Structure 1
Amino acid sequence: MNSKPKIVVLGAGYAGLKTTKELTKLFTPEEADIILVNKHNYHYESTWLHEVAAGTINPNQARFMISDVINPNRVRLIYDLVEKVDTENQRVVLENGELTYDYLVFALGFETNTFGIKGMAENAFSIVDIESSRLIREHIELKFAQYNNNPESKESDLTILVGGAGFTGIEFVGELAERVPQLCKKYDIDRRKVRIINVEAMPSILPMFDKDLVEYAKKSLADRGVEFRLGTAINECTEDSFIVGDDNEEIKAGTIVWTGGVTGSSVLGESGFELTRGKVTVNSDLRAPGFDNVFVLGDCAWVMDEEAGRPFPPTAQAAMQHADICARNVKSLVHGGPLEDFVFHDRGTVASLGVTDGIGSVFDGKPLKGKAAAAMKKVVDNRSVFLLGGTKTLLKKGKFRPF
């Protein structure tokens, strides 16, 4: 009879994959069975998806095979879709089967949140995974390829509308500012015919940065052809437009991408967890309230900053820090030791504005902009790949292209 505890990790994003790696260091094969469940047989760097969507990097650069970094002889790898967690019976329902668990790590990542904007879910693209990002890339290029060869083409077909001016939206338009001139040259199109329009209901962009850095970012992007419609609410998304503002102005476009919000995996709700804005507000030890053996991490969790009275930002660095504490706390549960509270170590934030430009706040608030910020962004991206995939994966997938 197998008396070893069974630890099941759901999701191979930043939090899930890092947790799995840490668990293999903390437990011998004789101490515990570790199972990792993921929809795909690869991990993708979700903070690189805007580059895939714009077409500035190849989709394969942003992902690597899970079996290249997790030994299948050490961890049971299951590639399947999670439908529901039956917490009462400690059971995970998959599309093609089911699993039982003694300890569960829920890290299934994010889904798009359209905040109920009419037509947005049906008519706009979203940057959520490799395939959705690849679809955007291909759609944009198709619009350029068709423009001079289709007598029914309209100039608005070359307009790219981006809803939302948070991290993903701004980094995406920054990559588009790099990619559009290349597409214009490739398909013999006047650059002045192409519009990149960013629409945001709030009065500014990137609210996590100070005013001077925000102004720098806006000017940098505007100088490269990005138009901003700030303080402009999106009332509706049609097949080829946003309807915006109090006067219901229509902005036509050939490509519409929504980046304005995300929420935790819908499996949380299907499984009966208590949710706040689509996520679980976890205890200080990262366990779901009411459950001794269920941890919720990454984009599925609100982890409270008690001093600030609000959740920590749901970033990749936070997700990987969740993983470290979670793995140690699982070990403590198995062996009867004390649990640790999560303490966030903020190493700063950097946003890219294209290949050679960016803004950031690092090392206790030191501001960065321009090439220095772009270089730091590459360091951050490479560090993530190294922590998850090791040196071999970093050498294959890392960003080493000089400016």
Structure 2
Amino acid sequence: MQPQTSKPTILLLGAGYANIALLKSLPKSTYTHAHFTLITDSSAYCESVLLHEVASGYRGSEILHPLTAILSSIPSLEIIQDRVQTICAHEKRVLCANGSYDYDTLIVGLGFRSDSFGIAGVEKHALPLTSFTQARAIYERICENLNHYARTQDTAYLRIVVCGGGFSGCELVATLAQELPKLARQRGIQEPFELICVEALPNVLPMFSKTLAQKGRAYLEKLGVIVRSSCRILACEEGGIIVQDSSSPQAQNLESTSQNSGADLEGGNSSEKITSFCVIWTAGVQGSEVMAHSFGTPKSRVQTTPYLHPKSLESALKQSPESKISCQSAPIDTESIFILGDCSALLDPDSNRFYPPTAQMAIAQGRYVAGVLASKLAGSTSAPAPFTYAPQGTICSLGSRYGVGLLGASFQISGVAAIAIKRASEWRWRFKLKH
């Protein structure tokens, strides 16, 4: 436990987009009014929106930025490398693998993990894409499979299945289509890769309009990707996945489709095994498992107020017979807690739907909380304005030469211009990290 201090203790959990934006946005003078501690299980900040490029081999460790470098200009910030396990909000304490830490104000920005949706075999047989380590594991698996193909000539080693046709899945499969032929040529392999993107909905990129989604699909198919939409994943198993095609015309022609794609028919006329020794799971994410350990909340996300405080919290420890923590019966001080990024669920007042947990959203939340803290620690007694969010745009990169997306809320853009705008946005964020 950290030594007592007369200054309030502000504890930040996680070094993702939200908390990095918060720390970089705080005026330097604010740090003299409180003790700031950042707890993270990594010594580096990761640009997680670029993980798909690491998985393909297009990028490497350059997406990692040592915390000591990007936060070196912040006075008196304490960085503790530890793994957060449980938040005991009743006692204003956080339990980690190597110690416990008290707080006056807690800022939770612990990021995301893969969501299997309860589908059998996903956690055991599919490769997730939620961290740098996992992205490298995917790249290494692909290289291993190339070596296996060179020895066996089994084309199943050249078949890669990406489960999920949303943002991450499409960015990944497009980048793989661009980069993997280079890896094959380096090993003297002429046989082409077979990339299959499986999506349960009628089309990929469902967050966009039909026009943009169709443009994205057309470009994927131009790259040689086999898009299997209206195709539900029933299970993952060693050596492939079991799917069910819910589109009647496709189901009627399933056998010929299976033969053309190299997939193996298994079961009845709508159950199919797609054989692959590299199955990648991008079908969904949820908040950090710490939230599940600490609070009874669906998908490890906590619904927040417009001020980014939790609306309510119920300790999961009360129901845990193995817990050695005695949580008090007093109510949790929710106004001492801010929930940001992938762990938060915030309603859009216009659509009455939850905002998607994007990096852009997390950065905006971090900057908002920085302003609230700066004002409060400077002695202001005025109530803060609620958090408001106006998306600047959303662009999905499909390789290095094409993208589809929106500028602002509704202006549609596609092609080279879209990818150029996205790269400019990434460069601006990287510049802010260093200054």
TM-score under structure 1 normalisation? 0.92
Instruction: Output one character per residue of 1:21-54: Cα deviation in whole Å (capped at 9) or x when no partner.
Output: 233546142x111111111010000100010011
Greater shift in the superposed pair: 319-328 or 377-386: 377-386
- Percent identical pairs in the alignment equals 32
Partner amino acid, structure 1, of 2:62: Q
Q: 1:313 aligns with which of 338, 353, 356?
A: 356
Provide the residue aligned with 2:187 in structure 1: 187
1:382 deviation in Å?
Answer: 1.3
Aligned equivalent of 1:263: 286
1:399 paired residue number:
none
Q: In the alignment, is residue 296 of structure 1 matched against residue 296 of structure 2? A: no
Letter in 1 for 2:239: D
Tell me, in whole angstroms, the C-alpha distance in 1 between the residues paired with 2:163 and 2:29.
43
Residue aligning to 2:14: 11
* Letter of the 2:26 counterpart: L
Q: What is the CA distance between 1:98 and its match in structure 2?
A: 1.2
* Equivalent residue letter for 1:69: I
Q: Classify the secondary structure of the residue corresponding to 2:335.
A: coil
Shift of 1:233: 0.3
Deviation per CA, 1:365-385: give whole Å up to 9, x if none: 222211111111101211222
Whether the aligned pair in 1 keeps the contact of 2:286 and 2:300 (CA below 8 Å) is yes
Q: Deviations over 1:243-277 (max 9, x none)?
A: 000622000012110000000011112112x4243
C-alpha distance in 2 between matches for 1:28 and 1:82:
23
Q: What's the secondary structure of 1:245's corresponding residue?
A: strand
Q: 1:356 aligns with which of 401, 415, 418?
A: 401
Give the alignment partner of residue 370 of structure 2, picking from 327, 335, 341: 327
- Corresponding residue number in structure 2 for 1:223: 222
Query: Given that residues 9 and 20 in structure 1 are in contact (C-alpha distance below 8 angstroms), is that contact kept between their aligned partners in structure 2?
Result: no
**Displacement after TM superposition at 1:20 (Å):** 2.0
Cα deviation, residue 331, structure 1:
3.5
Structure 1: which 5+ residue stretches go unaligned?
392-403
Question: Are the aligned partners of 1:103 and 1:330 in contact in 2 as well (CA < 8 Å)?
Answer: no
In structure 1, distance between residues paired with 2:23 and 2:40 = 12
The match for 2:99 among 97, 109, 113 is: 97
1:113-152 deviations in Å (ceiling 9; x for gaps):
010010011100011111010010111011112312x23x
Deviates more, 1:73-82 or 1:35-44: 73-82
Residue 30 of structure 2, aligned match among 11, 22, 27: 27
Q: Which residue pairs with 1:390 in the alignment?
A: 434
Deviation at 1:286, TM superposition (A): 0.2
Name the structure 1 match of 2:249: none
Question: Which residue does the alignment assign to 1:175?
Answer: 175
Greater CA drift, 64-73 or 303-312 = 64-73
Aligned-partner Cα distance in 2 for 1:26–1:102: 19
- Normalised by the length of structure 2, the TM-score is 0.85
Counterpart of 2:156, as a letter, is: S
SS of aligned partner of 2:178: helix
Give the equivalent residue in structure 1 for 2:411.
366
Count of residues in Structure 1 that have an aligned counterpart in Structure 2: 384
Looking at structure 1, the residues matched to 390 and 237 of structure 2 have their Cα atoms a distance apart, in angstroms, of 43
CA distance in 1, matches of 2:13, 2:24: 13
The residue correspondences of 1:77-92 to structure 2 (distance < 5 A) are 77-92=79-94
Kept in 1, the 8 Å contact 2:27–2:374? The answer is: no
> 3-state DSSP class of the match of 1:202?
coil
Alpha-carbon contact 1:284-1:303 (below 8 Å) kept: yes
Contact in 2 for aligned 1:20/1:36 (Cα 8 Å): no
| CA-CA distance at 1:183 after TM superposition | 1.7
Q: CA deviation at 1:364?
A: 4.5
Q: CA deviation at 1:330?
A: 2.8
Larger CA Rg, structure 1 vs 2: 2
- Counterpart contact for 2:17–2:359, Cα < 8 Å: yes
Please give the alpha-carbon distance, in whole angstroms, between the structure 2 residues aligned to 1:254 and 1:380: 35
**Structure 2 equivalent of residue 138 of structure 1:** 140
